[in-house]
Amino acid sequence: MATEIERKFLVKGDEYREQAQGRRYRQAYLSTDKERVVRVRVVDQEAWLTIKGRTRGVSRAEFEYPIPVEDAIDMLENLCQQPVIDKTRYRLPLGDHVWEIDEFHGVNDGLVVAEIELEDEDQPFEKPDWLGDEVSGDPRYFNANLIAHPYRDWSE
């Protein structure tokens, strides 16, 4: 079984943009059940179907499979829960890891989150200056939850 160990942080400023190219991602969910999340994602002319298990700490089972982009677009438009998550992702190598910084658009405009995948939950990693508060344990920041509770609707 594949396991995803991921920590998530808010981002301060936009310094990361100078160090990485962004790519547009469109993704939506066939299921957002707490026990299993099923996602469809399109990036350029590539697409994937991803199944993720229940999050325990910062870990969860994850399985990802390439699918035809035409099928993925059809699923995004006709089968998936709406709205589609629209974001620009920047990948930034730092030390032994790669940070993924997501700038959200549409109903989640203004939200910027950085993620790092680790081999072990307690693995040390370098923290860049633009890294803000950790939100790994806050389900509001899970992409699957941004459909039902978009960032624009959050109250301070």
Give the separation between CA 12 and CA 15, rounded to whole angstroms: 9
Please tell me the distance from the alpha carbon of residue 148 to that of residue 134, in angstroms, as a whole number.
Answer: 22
Catalytic residue among 29, 65, 90, 141: 29
Averaged pLDDT of the chain: 93
Under a CB-based contact definition with an 8 Å cutoff, are residues 128 and 17 in contact? Answer: no
Distance, CA of 67 to CA of 71 (rounded, Å)? 7
Per-residue pLDDT tens over the stretch 40-73: 999 999 999 999 998 888 888 999 999 999 999 9
User: How do the domains of the chain map onto residue ranges?
Assistant: 3-153
Three-state DSSP at 114 gives: strand
Listed residue (25, 7, 28) closest to 99, CA to CA: 7
Q: Model-level pTM?
A: 0.90
Active site residue 29: yes
156, pLDDT greater than 60: no
28: Cα within 13 Å, side-chain hemisphere: 14
CATH of region 3-153: 2.40.320.10
Average pLDDT over residues 22-33: 96
